[in-house]
Amino acid sequence: MNEVTEKILVIINPNAGKYGATKKAEQLCKALKASGAFVQSRATEGIGHARDIVSQEASHYDLVVACGGDGTFSEVVSGLMRLDTAPDVGFLPVGSTCDIARNFRLPSHPEKAAHVMLKGIAYPLDIGRVTGSVPELRDDLPRGVVPDETELLPDHFSYVTSFGAFSETSYATRRELKKSLGHFAYVLTGLQSVPHIHPVETKVILDGDDYSGAYIFGGVLNSYSVGGMVKIDQVSFNDGLFEVLLVKPPKNMGQIARLLSLLLRRKTGDAIIRRRAREVVFEFPNKVSFTIDGEYGGSRHLWRIENIERAIRLRVAEPPQNAILP
């Protein structure tokens, strides 16, 4: 590699993945330094810490790297969204699923990842902003899932926010199970939740159009896939629009398998509504929990999701399919 003089901040989640991110992060930092970059690394200590580090320190750097899973990347993005002028972001995937890495074919090998970060292109990416009614915290989830205070809940997302069927799988799956089984841990937890799937009445407004009804799943996505299960094609990551999926309740348990099959094969049917929207509003009779980039997002009556077009720049080797370039 040719010598570069970039200043790089590496954010490390030591609890990510089966073996943690520390070793891979050290290898990444070594490769970046070998190319002449100035590199500083910081390890996170809990929910919201990555966001705080980035919002306080990232303005002094040319590139901020998230080393962990999708949740770590999401926190880094939330920190960047608090800056007037944000540096580029890189991602070394170490988590159990890593939909962001799958979308952009980002390598998990540290030296290959360093090459992409230093020699790749800065691809503009839409980000979702989440607001609404005052959130509440649940007390029935595994330890380490729920933050100590609502101010630490995620308020931006890079690839998904959703409610309903399987939405809790990512954060309800026990950490020790994820470390031992990897992605299969999510599949197992998701299957165990099938008997508890039930429709939720909600007012749904997509850019002013009313799609209110009863749904077992509602998702706002900027991704080809979610958890490797829900799959979508023809996605543009920076056109100012999100993909919205609404799944109507099946008539019987047997139809759930058919719905899952359709989603896995990127198909739609009478029970699956797919639309595109810049602003999405969900309003529920009771508080409903959402997942935000795979993390617990709190519980609210009213959820408002807004697309912030081309909000950040992600270092990638090449643009994804259907890309809109600068």
Residue 317 lies in a domain: no
Nearest to 86 by CA among 113, 120, 51: 51
**Are 137 and 241 contained in the same domain?**
yes
Residue 233 lies in a domain: yes
Q: What is the mean pLDDT of residues 304-326?
A: 86
pLDDT, tens only, 133-169: 999 999 988 778 899 999 999 999 999 999 987 666 6
pLDDT reported for residue 255: 63
pLDDT reported for residue 140: 87
**Are 96 and 166 contained in the same domain?**
no
Higher-confidence position of 320 and 278: 278
pLDDT reported for residue 164: 86
Residue 275 lies in a domain: yes
Its pTM stands at: 0.87
**Are 293 and 146 contained in the same domain?**
yes
Q: What is the mean pLDDT of residues 170-198?
A: 48
The angle subtended at Cα 43 by Cα 39 and Cα 48, nearest 5°, is 120
- What rounded mean pLDDT belongs to the chain? 85
Checking if the pLDDT of 306 tops 50, the result is: yes
* Beta carbons within 10 angstroms of residue 285's beta carbon: 10
Residue 326 lies in a domain: no
pLDDT reported for residue 182: 44
**Are 145 and 281 contained in the same domain?**
yes
CATH number for 99: 3.40.50.10330
Residue 192: CB partners within 8 Å, gap ≥ 6?
none
Rounded-to-integer distance, Cα 12 and Cα 45, Å:
10
* Domain end call among 56, 89, 119: 119
Higher-confidence position of 120 and 140: 120
**Are 201 and 178 contained in the same domain?**
yes
* Beta carbons within 10 angstroms of residue 83's beta carbon: 15
The residue type of 232 is I
pLDDT, tens only, 49-77: 999 999 999 999 999 999 999 999 999 99
Rounded-to-integer distance, Cα 142 and Cα 298, Å:
14
Residue 320 lies in a domain: no
Domain that holds residue 66: 7-119
The angle subtended at Cα 182 by Cα 178 and Cα 187, nearest 5°, is 85
Number of structural domains in the chain: 2
Rounded-to-integer distance, Cα 171 and Cα 248, Å:
23
Q: Is 123 strand, coil or helix?
A: strand
Provide the percentage of residues in the chain whose pLDDT is more than 70. 78
Rounded-to-integer distance, Cα 79 and Cα 64, Å:
10
**Are 149 and 262 contained in the same domain?**
yes
**Are 156 and 286 contained in the same domain?**
yes
Q: What is the mean pLDDT of residues 191-206?
A: 76
Q: State in Å, rounded, how far the first CA of the chain is from the last one.
A: 25
**Are 167 and 108 contained in the same domain?**
no
**Are 63 and 162 contained in the same domain?**
no
Q: What is the mean pLDDT of residues 276-296?
A: 95
Residue 193 buriedness (CB in 10 A; 0-12 / 13-18 / 19+) = middle
CATH number for 252: 2.60.200.40
pLDDT reported for residue 267: 53
Q: Kindly give the interhelix angle for 49-57 and 70-80, rounded to the nearest 10 degrees.
A: 40
Residue 169 lies in a domain: yes
Residue 222 lies in a domain: yes
The residue type of 63 is L
**Are 234 and 151 contained in the same domain?**
yes
Confidence of residue 48 (pLDDT cuts 50, 70, 90): very high
**Are 183 and 99 contained in the same domain?**
no
pLDDT reported for residue 320: 86
Higher-confidence position of 143 and 85: 85
Residue 324 lies in a domain: no
**Are 274 and 153 contained in the same domain?**
yes
